[in-house]
Structures are given as structure tokens and as C-alpha cells.
Amino acid sequence: MLAIASPGSLVTIAGASLSVIGWIGYATANPNLSLPTIFYGIPILLGGLALKSSELPPASLLPASPEAVELRQAPASQTLRKLVKDVTRWRYGQKAHLESSLETLKLWDEDAPPQLLSVEELASEGRYGVAMRFRCEGVPYARWIEKQERLGRFFDKGLRAQLSEPGPGEVLLQLLPAA
């Protein structure tokens, strides 16, 4: 997703535009144009800059198979649908996606928190599942393995977690329907 399309960017651009219009109105001695645009433009610009400073971009959503797209609408997959929707939107004021969940699971490192890189919707045994790829500098893979049994239950009943290490410093968490 383009960074220019983030809500923080759009608010910053709107505030900057209003401020520029206000200063042009001031320079051309047009008080009806300069006064409102400066009064509204500068606070909107500052609000947009504040949003940009605490912005967390969405995790990339990898293309799903046609079977996974079909299974997405099943009532049993509602929790995973919400999870996918949550991590594929812009977040503000957080260090990482699923911050509170990872803290609860004791998979959090304050200095180097796990970063969600991508999400993929899966079809497994005729049911809907999700694969999440994390970059984990501060949380070793061994700690993820210790929490594997709890990971599936944490997100929803009837899920099991499968973990793998696709690369150095990365963890692939698959939330799949329990057999």
C-alpha cells in the first residue's frame, strides 16, 4: 500500500494546502481567505504530522487461493477474518501489529518487538486458516516454540498453531483449524 495514501499523509497534505492558501491570501491582502485557512490549516497540519510520527503501516496481504476466498465467508472463520482485517489497516500509536496479544502471550520484547511482515489466507482441510510472517529480532524462535500450543487457543477455539522458521530472524505462524 502506498504511504501517501495513509490517513496521516492525507491529513498532513490537507493541512499544508490550507496553510499555503492562507499565506497566499495574507500576501495578497485577502483577509476573507487568509484568516480561516490559516486558523484551520496550521492545526490540521500539526495533527497530520503527529499522526505521521506514530504511524504503523499495514502488513502486506498476500494473494489468497480461490478456495481460501470462498471459505473466508464461513461463520467459523469470523475471528480470523477480523484478525486479517485488523492487521491490514493503518495503526497509530503502536510499535507493532498485535502488540497487546503478543504481550499477553509473553512474545514481546520492548526494545525489538516482533514486526508482522505479511499475512496470507489459507485453505486447510476444507476450512479457513491464516499464515502470519513475523520478523523477530528480540524474541528467539525457541520462545515461540514454547508458546505454540497456547498460540492457537489464544486466537480462537478450534485452532492449532504451526510454527516454522523460513529465514534467520523470521517466524511463520500458521493458524489452522484443529483436526
pLDDT digits (tens, 9 = 90+) for 119-128: 999 988 888 8
**Same domain? 85 vs 170:** yes
**Same domain? 78 vs 27:** no
The three three-digit cell numbers of residue 114, written as one number: 516482533
**Same domain? 81 vs 13:** no
Question: Please, are residues 91 and 115 in contact by the beta-carbon 8 Å criterion?
Answer: no
Report the pLDDT value the prediction gives residue 64, as an integer from 0 to 100: 84
Domain boundary among 15, 34, 53: 53
Domain that holds residue 166: 57-177
**Same domain? 114 vs 169:** yes
Report the pLDDT value the prediction gives residue 65, as an integer from 0 to 100: 84
Please give the tally of structural domains in the chain.
Answer: 2
pLDDT value at 44 more than 80: yes
Number of C-beta neighbours around residue 52 at 10 A: 16
92 vs 89: CA distance, rounded Å: 10
Q: Which percentage of the chain shows pLDDT scores above 90?
A: 53
pLDDT value at 63 more than 70: yes
**Same domain? 102 vs 163:** yes
Report the pLDDT value the prediction gives residue 71, as an integer from 0 to 100: 82
User: Are β-strands 60-62 and 115-124 bridged in parallel, bridged antiparallel, or unpaired?
Assistant: parallel
Domain boundary among 38, 53, 68: 53
Calculate the average pLDDT of the chain: 89
pTM of the model: 0.82
**Same domain? 30 vs 83:** no
**Same domain? 40 vs 79:** no
**Same domain? 21 vs 44:** yes
137 vs 167: CA distance, rounded Å: 12
